[in-house]
Structure 1
Amino acid sequence: MFPFIAGSTDLYLIPGDPVTNVRLPRMFNAVFERFDIDAVMAPAHVATRDFAVFVKAAFLAKNVRGMVIAPPHKPLAVTLLDGAGLFGRVAGSVNVVKRIANGELEGDLFDGEGLLGALDRYNIPFRGKRVLILGAGVSAAAVGVALAEGGTVNGAEHIAFHDISAGKAAGVAAKLDAFFDATTIAVDSSDPAGYDLVVNATPLGLKEGDALPLDVARMEPHAALFDILLRNQPTPLVRAARARGLNAQAGFEMLIQQMPYYLDFFGHTAAAHGVRQDARFLRELIYPQSMAAEIDAPLRYHSDSVA
């Protein structure tokens, strides 16, 4: 049901280019309705050249309470902020922005927390493990920051980035290595041998016919795979890993696990608590029909199967 909108309704926007496939408006509006919050989220199709003007102008409206930033604008948003959280500063991008009491804009990045929450839900070990991240873009950097931030006890012990642009992977790895204790390097191969976890943060798999980003046959028998893509799931990569009996998961849970962080950031603490307690209604909302049976999939996995 479309939310009732009145003069008292708070407005949240999600600017991107394009915005035809964004799922967060449906998710936020479902949360607002469920927890009786007088607010609505709407997508806004904004070209890159207009993004800075749009953000500054939109926040002149007193009832615009915040934005969730969709691709490709996450790195651009950082330059418009008066302050940003650690993850946003290190990764060089943010996915949420709000105006605080003094009128300044603050932002943060929760992609990484979303990934860690998804890994825990699927009983995929990452603490003290060796991780290969495929890609070195905005999402890959956010994943790396989250995995490295916990140190070698609560985070990964060794993180390797591989990208078709070797210099890009080296740059991300060097930046993380300077901030965190985890060993963070760039590698010139996507060979997954020797790694406990592989995270696909490349666009390979969005289109039928895409080459697999790695040779699944080379993955260790105990290894796990997480593919952050939200379209065309389960991707050929996920299917290939599952065919080997590996714990391989799609990116939907990463989005689910970010929701409480978004809500806390925007001041909706009761709703954040409620979603942490029970997010099944959101899973039912965004999982494609072909994956409906996987909404409760974590119940089928046990940590000893991937230890």
Structure 2
Amino acid sequence: MEITGETDLFYIVGTPVRHFRAPILFNDYFASCGHNFCCTGLNVQPADLADALSLVRRIENIRGLCITAPHKIAAASMVDLHTREATQAGSVNFVRRETDGTLTGHNLDGLGFLRGLKGSGFDPVGKRVLLLGAGGVGRAIAFSLAAEGVTRLLLANRDTAKAHTLAAEVARATGIKAMATGTGALPDLSDFDLIVNATSVGMGGGGDMPMDLTGVSASATVADVVIGAQDTPLIAAAKRAGCSTMVGSSMLKPQIELSETFLYGTAKG
């Protein structure tokens, strides 16, 4: 990769960012698409996010941003335009700088998860799903799974009110049967074809589990959005139970591919 004055700059904005290997994936993929493009990390503290986005508005050779923890929800209130996916998720994980300096926010968590899931051999059409987490990632995944045609979606969250709110929004938008519960009142896991952890539990290698997999069917698929060098405790437990699994990194490559269309293609705010 040769960086010149004509190179489009792209930053992964979060904190901490030193451990990120995603810039390598972005740079390799965008180079393969023929773009003069350079991605690197930008370590931004929460108190400085608004200033960072204000600076991006004024720098013409910044193509866009990937927004990661802990900024996805805050960034949604700081951009100028939103795609439908960003509005539904209530969070932003990609930002495109328009030629006039305005910022369009997008969310590819749901679409990336869906592509990763299908790439892992699971077709969600007609399936019964238990989804843990009603934050930005959980919201994005819930809408994508519902739109894809799951027959039953149970949303579980520590804040039960948030789960009920999301279930009502998903049902209203897609017409599927979406229900809600607290994480302490989960039903028999054998009733589900797909179990998804869309919380941060399991991040950092501490051994924490977002839920007990007792009773899960060996024919079920268990997916975790947490990305780590090794299997998360949930994925390790699922493998021991004989389940098929999808690791968090499986939703990263599809998002990189989809972001190329958003940044250089026809996706509109």
Do they fold alike, i.e. is TM over 0.5?
yes
1:38 aligns with 2:32: no
**Secondary structure of the structure 2 residue equivalent to 1:239:** helix
Among 27, 30, 33, which residue is 1:29 paired with? 27
Q: What's 1:60 paired with?
A: 58
Q: Which amino acid aligns with 1:98?
A: R
Distance (whole Å) between structure 2 residues aligned to residue 67 and residue 85 of structure 1: 15
Among 12, 16, 28, which residue is 2:10 paired with? 12
Q: Which amino acid aligns with 2:25?
A: M
Among 161, 164, 180, which residue is 2:155 paired with? 161
Q: Which amino acid aligns with 2:43?
A: H
- Within 5 Å, give how 1:219-258 maps onto structure 2: 219-258=216-255
**Secondary structure of the structure 2 residue equivalent to 1:193:** helix
Cα 1:208–1:12 shift into 2, 3 Å: closer
Q: Cα RMSD between the aligned structures?
A: 1.9
Aligned pairs, number = 263
- Indicate if the aligned counterparts of 1:190 and 1:213 stay in contact, CA closer than 8 A: no
- Indicate if the aligned counterparts of 2:93 and 2:106 stay in contact, CA closer than 8 A: yes
1:107 aligns with 2:101: no
Unaligned runs of 5+ in 1: 270-307
Deviation at 1:54, TM superposition (A): 0.9
Deviation track 1:197-243 (CA, whole Å, cap 9, x = no partner) reads 00011222224453432232311232111111101531222122112
Distance (whole Å) between structure 2 residues aligned to residue 268 and residue 87 of structure 1: 17
**Secondary structure of the structure 2 residue equivalent to 1:59:** helix
Distance (whole Å) between structure 1 residues aligned to residue 35 and residue 68 of structure 2: 23
- Within 5 Å, give how 1:95-134 maps onto structure 2: 95-134=93-132
Deviation at 1:34, TM superposition (A): 3.5
- Indicate if the aligned counterparts of 2:60 and 2:99 stay in contact, CA closer than 8 A: no
- Indicate if the aligned counterparts of 2:231 and 2:247 stay in contact, CA closer than 8 A: yes
- Indicate if the aligned counterparts of 2:235 and 2:245 stay in contact, CA closer than 8 A: yes
Distance (whole Å) between structure 1 residues aligned to residue 210 and residue 65 of structure 2: 32
Of the structure 1 ranges 28-37 and 226-235, higher mean CA displacement relative to structure 2 is found in: 28-37
Cα 1:12–1:136 shift into 2, 3 Å: same
Cα 1:75–1:208 shift into 2, 3 Å: closer
Q: Which amino acid aligns with 1:190?
A: L
Deviation at 1:268, TM superposition (A): 6.1
Q: What's 2:136 paired with?
A: 138
Q: What's 1:190 paired with?
A: 186
**Secondary structure of the structure 2 residue equivalent to 1:107:** strand
Distance (whole Å) between structure 1 residues aligned to residue 179 and residue 85 of structure 2: 18
Distance (whole Å) between structure 1 residues aligned to residue 68 and residue 237 of structure 2: 29
Q: What's 2:168 paired with?
A: 174
Percent identity of equivalent pairs: 32
Q: What's 1:75 paired with?
A: 73
**Secondary structure of the structure 1 residue equivalent to 2:112:** helix
Deviation at 1:90, TM superposition (A): 1.1
- Within 5 Å, give how 1:83-98 maps onto structure 2: 83-98=81-96
Distance (whole Å) between structure 1 residues aligned to residue 31 and residue 43 of structure 2: 24
Cα 1:182–1:34 shift into 2, 3 Å: same
Deviation track 1:55-81 (CA, whole Å, cap 9, x = no partner) reads 121221110111111111111222222
Cα 1:86–1:268 shift into 2, 3 Å: closer
Deviation at 1:4, TM superposition (A): 2.6
Distance (whole Å) between structure 2 residues aligned to residue 64 and residue 52 of structure 1: 16
Give me the TM-score of the superposition, normalised by structure 2.
Answer: 0.90
**Secondary structure of the structure 2 residue equivalent to 1:233:** coil
**Secondary structure of the structure 2 residue equivalent to 1:218:** coil
